[in-house]
Structure 1
Amino acid sequence: MADNDNSSSAKPFVGEIKSGLKPSMKISVMGMVHSQPNSFILSLTSNSLDPETDVGLEVTVSFRDRSVVRNAKVSGKWGKEEKNIPYFPFTPMQHFKMEILCEHQQFRVQVDGQQLFDFTYRVQQLQKLTALKIIGDIRLTKVV
């Protein structure tokens, strides 16, 4: 995926995942949190243009609630939200590195090298997930 200078928070970053996700792949998202953030959303989807697309993982980070909510959408239906996290890793005006590791049964997500959560796959065909979308109150510096 190419770097994207995203100076405007309203314009989403969309990166293509060539030939889709597969076990043992890793996606790294590096950026800096805005000075007065509300939230940001990261999604792994099957088609960035179709609103009815499957979403393998959507992570919604809320600074007001200090929450990191995960969910997935399969066949047009959102599943049960997962919210448990051991700590809230994001701070205004601080850089972060979020890594999404594709394991055999789940996504494992780490922030700055610390385990944040696991999310069991709900979309069974990982290779259908071909787009990474990020929107919200962060400035991306690198996505690989």
Structure 2
Amino acid sequence: MAFVSAAGYQPVYNPSIPFRHPIYGGLRSGMSVYLQGMIPQHVNRFCVNFACGQHDGADIALHFNPRFDGKNRVVFNTFQGRTWGGEEKKKDLFPFHKGKQFEIVFHCNPASFQVNINGTHFFEYRHRIPLERVECVHVDGDVSIRSLSIVGAGGGSMGPMVTPSFPSSGVMPLPGYPSMTLPAMGGPTNNPPVPYRANIPGGLTPKRTFVIRGFTPEGGQRFHINFKTSSGEIALHFNVRLNEHTVVRNSKLGGYWGSEERGMINNPFMPGQFFDISIRSGNGRYKVFVNGQHFCDYVHRFPALHMIDTLEIEGNVVLSLVQF
């Protein structure tokens, strides 16, 4: 069963390193590049280059270079006219650890690259080369990449940046993780707080894909994704239960839960790990992919797709992107 990505979302899973990925049409302000990966135990350094060509020697608008040499630091630079510019270094709060997963997000702003690591703002690097000249992302060095995703490509536009706020009370999120109700909106959203609720403009339609990227924190018990109607019917309840090592799928119609579906070949959800979920509404069923691999199908129990107008995400989860 083929994976189908959402509009404006170009993912690549488990590429071999070194790896070059073209950016069709070039970078533009409002686009973002997401990398999820792992730092090996034997690491010296790795780099992510935003290059102005797919050949060696091309100009590099942004050279992002973590170095593990006892002086752990991240070096930023630009390569132009076969010459490196002046380095900019970030030495404090080194965010990478051997044997640990990470997520890096490069947000393309009009004046700079905004670099977020593991959900936290890390660095702002002002452009020395126009964004539009960037033609590919190049990853090399001591690193394993599970996914690289270009968001806002193919004419798509990014939704608003959402700054998380921290609750004074609440049960579902773990202490120290953001929580609030998001006003109804559609489209891609970066770092949305949890609980997350968004309106699906026009209701659900066949062949529409929803992307949810995030992180399951250590100590988390469960989180769920609901596709709901304005009257409260839950057409799809996708419930990741970390404490039970299972994923439950169900529907709540007429005030009653139906029979649970729990079958799966493997469980990709574990505390302390990042995930990438794609849910596609087919003519007869939902097709769910996790980290680029088919996870399950769920036959429609509520066939009036146009009435499903709300996406809801709650529980012990930190979200980095929601796009549809």
Q: 1:99 & 1:71 partners in 2: Cα distance?
A: 17
Give yes or no for contact 1:3–1:143 (8 Å, CA) kept in 2: no
Deviates more, 1:37-46 or 1:11-20: 11-20
Q: 1:73 & 1:37 partners in 2: Cα distance?
A: 24
Query: Counterpart amino acid of 2:201?
Result: K
Tell me the equivalent position of 1:8. 178
Aligned residue pairs total 140
Output the aligned Cα RMSD: 1.8
Offset at residue 4 of structure 1 (A): 4.7
Residues 1:138 and 1:79: Cα distance change in structure 2 (over 3 Å): same
* 1:12-91 alignment runs, 5 A limit: 12-47=195-230, 53-91=232-270
Shift >3 Å, 4+ stretches: 1-7
Tell me the equivalent position of 1:135. 314
Tell me the equivalent position of 2:304. 125
Give yes or no for contact 1:3–1:142 (8 Å, CA) kept in 2: no
Residues 1:138 and 1:17: Cα distance change in structure 2 (over 3 Å): same
Residues 1:5 and 1:125: Cα distance change in structure 2 (over 3 Å): farther
Which structure has the bigger radius of gyration? 2
Offset at residue 2 of structure 1 (A): 5.8
Tell me the equivalent position of 2:288. 109
Which ranges of structure 2 fall in alignment gaps of 5 or more residues? 1-158, 165-176, 181-193
Q: 2:209 & 2:293 partners in 1: Cα distance?
A: 15
Q: 1:2 & 1:17 partners in 2: Cα distance?
A: 16
Query: Counterpart amino acid of 2:259?
Result: K
Give yes or no for contact 1:30–1:95 (8 Å, CA) kept in 2: yes
Q: 1:100 & 1:83 partners in 2: Cα distance?
A: 17
Residues 1:4 and 1:58: Cα distance change in structure 2 (over 3 Å): farther
* Higher relative contact order structure (alpha carbons within 8 Å, sequence separation ≥ 6): 1
For residue 226 of structure 2, give the secondary structure of its aligned residue in structure 1: strand
Give yes or no for contact 1:3–1:141 (8 Å, CA) kept in 2: no
Q: 2:212 & 2:277 partners in 1: Cα distance?
A: 5
Query: Counterpart amino acid of 1:116?
Result: F
Deviates more, 1:98-107 or 1:87-96: 87-96
Q: 1:105 & 1:126 partners in 2: Cα distance?
A: 10
Equivalent pairs: percent with the same residue? Answer: 27
Offset at residue 104 of structure 1 (A): 0.8
Which ranges of structure 1 fall in alignment gaps of 5 or more residues? none
Residues 1:15 and 1:128: Cα distance change in structure 2 (over 3 Å): same
Q: 1:99 & 1:5 partners in 2: Cα distance?
A: 24
Asked if residue 97 in structure 1 is aligned to residue 276 in structure 2, the reply is yes
Deviates more, 1:9-18 or 1:79-88: 9-18
**TM-score normalised according to structure 1 size:** 0.89
For residue 130 of structure 1, give the secondary structure of its aligned residue in structure 2: strand
